Amino acid sequence: MLVSAKEMLEKAKAGHYAVGQFNINNLEWTKAILLTAQELNSPVILGVSEGAGKYMTGYKTVVGMVNGMMEELKITVPVALHLDHGSYEGCLACVEAGFSSIMFDGSHYPIDENVAKTTELVKIAKAHGMSLEAEVGSIGGEEDGVIGKGECADPQECKSIADLGVTMLAAGIGNIHGKYPDNWEGLSFETLDAIQQLTGEMPLVLHGGTGIPEDMIKKAISLGVAKINVNTECQLAFADATRKYIEAGKDLEGKGFDPRKLLAPGFEAIKATVKEKMELFGSVGKAN
Ligand code: 13P
């Protein structure tokens, strides 16, 4: 059964490790992440962006697939199904569809509007026993056609959103979605520390987990990060393994074109990436 991310993140923050959020795109992604979490006895968060939700034909399909897979694969570790960077309407749709966790990304609104909308969603999430992630200080990335230093959140604004009763808080600390440019200045630990000082027990979320060096990940965890989002790295690993299979001509040998064979190397590559991240984040063995 899906669970809210609240308990697993509170445990992670207290235990000085982080739970990975891995974004899903289809059946192979979901199966690879769930099986790896079970094998490593690790809690896990499955992230679904609004675009990925549409791609998979809608949130109800996602809920049906994840619930069915958890039952049939006998997954017993804590799993949260979480909307990633949701709009207000997207959050309501995921509450209806049976997600166990939502993120409202109000970072592009003026702070007062972010506060007002987040306040509404705190009530709704609480009434449904769901966890809610809020965001302050938008996270840069290639999506906007801008490659540069991600924004740094204002720690006071972080406190005002954290005080609304959200479960976890994403704050921009120079992190970026997608690959990091060569001239990236790194995470701003000064900002992270200031945010942690003001938000206390609140589990903090680090977006843009792809490509952040290991020592920075460890330092971020030591300063209160309890959830780390990874998306692009699984996509790159999947694409790389699939390309190698095709370039080696394996799809032309025997029944190598069968999707169950063609997609197998990519599936294994996602598993290996998720394992590596869970080991780095320290969530292995923390399912109970
Ligand atoms: P990456 O794609 O950079 O790993 O970021 C993932 C993310 O933050 C999803 O919200």
Residues 6+ apart with CB under 8 A from 213: none
- H or E element that contains 69: helix 59-72
Model pTM above 0.75: yes
Per-residue pLDDT of 131-171, as tens digits, reads 999 999 877 665 444 445 578 999 999 999 999 999 999 99
Tell me which of 3.20.20.70, 3.40.50.2300, 3.40.50.620, 3.30.360.10 is the CATH number of domain 5-236.
3.20.20.70
Distance 262 CA to ligand 1 centre (A): 26
DSSP-assigned states of every residue in 81-130: EEEEEE-HHHHHHHHHHT-SEEEE--TTS-HHHHHHHHHHHHHHHHHTT-
Task: Report pLDDT for 141.
Answer: 66
**Block residue for tokens 């200045």:** 185
Q: 23 labelled as ligand-binding?
A: no
Task: Report pLDDT for 183.
Answer: 86
Residue spans of the domains in the chain: they are 5-236
Q: Is 146 left (phi over 0), alpha (psi -120 to 50) or beta?
A: beta
d(CA 287, CA 285): 6
DSSP-assigned states of every residue in 22-65: EE--SHHHHHHHHHHHHHTT--EEEEEEHHHHHHTT-HHHHHHH
d(CA 128, CA 35): 27
Do residues 46 and 66 make contact, with C-beta atoms less than 8 angstroms apart? Answer: yes
Burial of 287 from C-beta contacts in 10 A (0-12 / 13-18 / 19+)? middle
Q: Which amino acid, one-letter code, is at 194?
A: A
Task: Report pLDDT for 139.
Answer: 75
Residues 6+ apart with CB under 8 A from 192: 171, 173, 204, 220, 223, 224, 225
Backbone angles phi, psi at 167, to 5 degrees: -85, -40
The one-character DSSP state at 153 is -
Looking from the CA of residue 233, the nearest atom of ligand 1 is 4
Task: Report pLDDT for 107.
Answer: 86
Distance 178 CA to ligand 1 centre (A): 6
Looking from the CA of residue 103, the nearest atom of ligand 1 is 10
Do residues 224 and 171 make contact, with C-beta atoms less than 8 angstroms apart? Answer: no
Distance 255 CA to ligand 1 centre (A): 35
Q: pLDDT 10s digit of each residue in the chain, 288 long?
A: 999 999 999 999 999 999 999 999 999 999 999 999 999 999 999 999 999 999 999 999 999 999 999 999 999 999 999 999 999 999 999 999 999 999 999 988 999 999 999 999 999 999 999 999 999 987 766 544 444 557 899 999 999 999 999 999 999 999 999 988 888 889 999 999 999 999 999 999 999 999 999 999 999 999 999 999 999 999 999 999 999 999 999 999 999 999 999 999 999 999 999 999 999 999 999 998
Q: 135 labelled as ligand-binding?
A: yes
